[in-house]
């Protein structure tokens, strides 16, 4: 029996301490998903709570069709998307917004005077400015170490789309970094 | 996006310390390094405890609701059984032993008022003594 299987069986029997362990192990992943998709700070923690309440409710239906983390991330993703739909917050897509790239790259930096600060911190801010699907895919891949197929399962996107989103998002970030640093300076 | 760009991304992902240079490669290296950093989002330290408390509260609420349902069902069964018994035994309601009280209406009224006044006095006195 794997560790995840053991923990789930204890939770189903009513062991709340084990559920606490499960939360602690996955709260970072759920937090990433929610914070990437939902930008309103006040809603984020409540949504994370809802996700874990749902996980507890549906744990009996989980039969290891995927990794536990993938299953939890799927619940978090769907919950966040439903929340955005309910609040009628549109989720923009680069395909629908052809001028996004130009706007994104050319957009002046509000904190240009902080140019001396760590460029990587800047990139983290740029990631927040990307459409939610893109930043979510980037975070799942780079921070949470998920594979293309796992991200596909979570988001319901075909693997090819996941890959395409990743490449395009990184390309956009690269253009923005080039713009920020100044091509000539790097050369 | 150019295929050379895709190849460059793949090559940098494989080997961040690679010797590939040029502005694009340098920019990609910065991007890849930044991407691996944790997003600045943190949950309350007692986040897990809060959820567990919520689940416990919900369970208690459920059990309370279940008790109420049983109470309701019990009352319904009692009423139905009473109606059944009344119909089957052809029960007729009489005041029985209390019929004699009808001759002492004033006394009954006095007793009720007396009990009421005593309660009131007791309440006022208790308030004065203890509060």
Q: What ipTM describes this predicted complex?
A: 0.78
For chains A and B, CB pairs below 8 A equal: 106
Q: From the CA of A114, how many Å to the nearest CA of chain B?
A: 17
pLDDT digit string, tens, across residues B113-129: 999 999 999 998 888 87
The answer to whether the CB atoms of A49 and B6 lie below 8 A apart is: no
Q: What is the pTM for the complete model shown?
A: 0.72
Q: Who's near A51: CB < 8 A, 6+ residues apart?
A: A30, A34, A72, A75, A76, A79
The answer to whether the CB atoms of B43 and A35 lie below 8 A apart is: no
CA dihedral of A115, A120, A126, A132, whole degrees rounded to 10: -160
Closest alpha carbon to A34 in A68, A70, A75:
A75
Q: Which residue has the higher pLDDT, A123 or B70?
A: B70
pLDDT digit string, tens, across residues A76-115: 999 999 999 998 877 766 555 667 777 777 665 544 444 4
Residues of chain A with C-beta less than 8 angstroms from the C-beta of B43: 27, 31, 45, 48
Range of A141-150, B20-29, B59-68, B72-81 with top mean pLDDT:
B72-81
Confidence (pLDDT) at A95:
58
Q: From the CA of B36, how many Å to the nearest CA of chain A?
A: 5
The answer to whether the CB atoms of A123 and B38 lie below 8 A apart is: no
Residues of chain A with C-beta less than 8 angstroms from the C-beta of B55: 16, 19, 53, 56
Given a cut of 70, whether residue B74 has pLDDT beyond it is yes
Inter-residue contact A123 to B35 (CB < 8 Å) = yes
Please state, in angstroms and rounded to a whole number, the distance separating the CA atoms of residues B129 and B131. 6
């Amino acid at each position: 029996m794997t560790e995840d299987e053991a923990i789930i069986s204890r939770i189903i029997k009513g062991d709340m301490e084990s559920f606490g362990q499960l939360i602690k192990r996955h709260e970072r992943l759920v937090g990433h998903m929610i914070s990437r998709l939902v930008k309103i700070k006040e809603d984020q923690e409540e949504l994370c709570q809802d996700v874990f309440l749902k996980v507890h409710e549906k744990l009996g239906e989980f039969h290891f069709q995927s990794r536990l983390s993938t299953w939890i991330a799927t619940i978090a993703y769907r919950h966040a998307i439903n929340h955005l739909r309910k609040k009628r917050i549109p989720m923009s897509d680069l395909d629908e917004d052809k001028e996004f790239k130009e706007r994104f790259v050319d957009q002046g930096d509000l904190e240009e005077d902080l140019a001396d600060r760590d460029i990587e911190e800047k990139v983290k801010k740029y990631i927040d400015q990307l459409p939610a699907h893109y930043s979510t895919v980037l975070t799942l891949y780079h921070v949470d170490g998920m594979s293309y197929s796992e991200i596909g399962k979570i988001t319901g996107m075909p693997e090819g789309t996941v890959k395409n989103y990743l490449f395009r998002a990184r390309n956009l970030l690269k253009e923005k970094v080039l713009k920020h640093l100044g091509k000539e300076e790097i050369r | 996006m150019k295929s050379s760009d895709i190849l460059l991304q793949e090559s940098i992902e494989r080997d961040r310390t690679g010797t590939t240079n040029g502005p694009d490669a340098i920019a990609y290296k910065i991007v890849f390094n930044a991407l691996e950093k944790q997003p600045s989002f943190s949950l309350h330290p007692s986040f897990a405890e809060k959820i567990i408390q919520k689940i416990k509260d919900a369970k208690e609420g459920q059990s309370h609701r279940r008790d109420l349902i049983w109470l309701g069902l019990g009352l319904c069964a009692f009423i139905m059984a009473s109606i059944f018994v009344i119909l089957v035994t052809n029960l007729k309601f009489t005041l029985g032993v209390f019929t004699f009280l009808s001759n002492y209406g004033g006394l009954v009224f006095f007793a009720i008022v007396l009990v009421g006044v005593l309660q009131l006095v007791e309440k006022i006195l208790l308030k004065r003594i203890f509060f």
